[in-house]
A and B are shown apart, each in its own frame.
Chain A
Amino acid sequence: MAANLNLKVNGQEYQIKVDPAKRLLDVLREDLGLTGTKEGCGEGECGTCSVILNGKLVNSCLVLALQADKADILTVEGLAENGKLHPLQQAFMKEGAVQCGYCTPGMLLAAKALLDSNSSPTKEEIKLAISGNICRCTGYDQIIRAVESVVKARERN
């Protein structure tokens, strides 16, 4: 039995019919074709499926699609604007924060959610903000540096 779902994802409105048992993650990946959001554990432990839902960071594997009805969602595909990388994306590239890239979408959104609520976080606050997002490749070092560099650039401006 399909249910109606209204979503705004990356600024675009969608009206679709979905199986009520579906997770938001599945709707994003399968129904909307937004495969930038990844699945790593399916139980909210790894953060690869992180998206920003109504301004808050959530694990989209733990959100039923219908719980997101009428929500405003940002996925990794919505970060760059007009073909220009978001400052976090630029910093991740410059600081070498990307290795295998599987945690990257979730990690970017965790960092964005932090910077949206706290314009000049400390290193400890950055570490805490990304602590729900596991990275197996980088040791977090260059990711933390990347976020710090965005904070510093903001403080300069």
Chain B
Amino acid sequence: MKETNDAVGASTPRIDAVGKLLGKTSFPADLSRPHMLYGKVLRSIHGHARIKDMHVREAEEMPGVRSVVTAKDVPGENSQGVLYTDMHVLADKEVRSVNDALAVVVADTEEIASKASKLIKVDYEVLPAVFDPETAMQEDAPHVHPELKTNVLYHLPIRRGNVEEGFEKSQVIIEDTYRTQMVDHAFLQPEAALAYQDQRGHLVINVATQYVHWDRVEIARVLGWTENRVQVVCTAVGGAFGGREDMSLQPLVALAALKTGRPVKMILNRKESFAAHSKRHPMVMSYKTGVDNKGQLIAVKAKIIGDTGAYASWAPNILRKAAIHAVGPYKCPNVEIDSYAVYTNNPFAGAMRGFGAAQPPVAMESQMDRMAEKLAMHPLTIRWRNALEEGDTTATGQFLGSSVGLKETMLQAARAAGWTIDDQTGEVNSYG
């Protein structure tokens, strides 16, 4: 035993480093079990289509194929989703995006499963689709989920003070629209999972995930089982960044193992991985901001539209977070924000590092620089003069009672850049 009282604050080498450095740490694709089969997913090739018919017999009859799992093999609920269960596990009537899975071919080898999946013939009737969120908000746009009678999934207004009065008092007003793109998590380890029934008859799923207990909820619901009979065990996780929160392979590999009665492993290649998980929401952000002649922020008005694609995933929470962070780390008495999450037939967007708070700074921090320039003010000065401190209130009226280290980060960064700042006036004495 080593006794010590200085564990916290020490740069202890990571507990997982040695196994990873020796190549001993197992990711899901590294696991195997006797008599294991391999599964391959067939996904939609259209953004929106009706499935008129799906012919699986040729695939089923290919030597080495053990089963083709489709919607009719789902014993429980054929639906999944972190907030709303709006995504089929296996679609059989309609596809709403290229993420939609239609079938899992289970075979003796990956190669056979892959070849057989290409033998499945799907008769699609392509339906009107919408791929742009602003178009999707218009009245005549086709509805991604017709039962909702709108593509607007979520709207949050933030109202504080009176922005019009704020703009009247402003010395400088900047107005512009900013757009951010869809990006992928691109974690290096593509999705993989292994499922089998153990000696108890319980279904065990080895998977790289961000939340084993949530995976269990989703899998149990799809199987129609109680949760105690589903065991989710997390392997090492090869990066996640939010892309392993929604179900990808978990229900599919569980269904495949259950139907065949054999262990089933599924490994996605990079292309399949791109189709299997969420993306960062592209956003359109229209900003109008005003400051007085001292650079004090007086009014922020913003409209933020996020494209969540065909499924909700975390979209309401993400667009809420975008709204709440729209003003940045600044005090502002007059705020009017409207944030919308909109369905389209694009690949679905969900959680990704920043979770809706990554996009608004692209707009707001550009606005800050542009207002500073009009006032002939250093970009750090305008930020310093508006920076939140302990005891301040945010745009949502929240009192910040502790640990507001913003100004310290400004000072520390400025010092490292060789800038000096007068902490009373915020004036910066040298630039670069």
Contacts and interface: CB of A to CB of B under 8 A. Distances in A.
Interface stretch (B144-152, B209-217, B232-240): B232-240
A36 B239 contact: no
B397 interface: no
Contacts of B21: 76, 85, 89, 92-93, 98, 101, 104, 108
Interface string B152-190: 000000000000000000000000000000000111111
**Interface range for B:** 20 to 34
29 contacts: A35-B30, A38-B29, A38-B189, A39-B29, A39-B190, A40-B270, A42-B269, A42-B270, A48-B188, A75-B23, A76-B22, A85-B18, A85-B21, A89-B21, A89-B22, A92-B21, A93-B13, A98-B21, A100-B187, A100-B188, A101-B17, A101-B19, A101-B236, A102-B189, A104-B21, A108-B21, A134-B188, A136-B186, A136-B188
Interface of A: 29, 34-43, 46, 48, 75-77, 79-80, 85, 89, 92-94, 96, 98-105, 108, 134-137
Q: Is the interface of B mostly helix, strand, loop or mixed?
A: loop
A137 B30 CA distance: 21
A38 B27 contact: yes
A99 B14 CA distance: 8
A100 B22 contact: no
A114 to B, nearest CB: 17
Contacts of B238: 38, 100-102
Contacts of A104: 20-21
Contact of B14 (A76, A80, A98): A98
B412 to A, nearest CB: 18
Interface string B7-51: 000010110111111111111011000000000000000000000
A105 B283 CA distance: 37
B290 to A, nearest CB: 37
Contact of B188 (A37, A40, A43, A76): A40
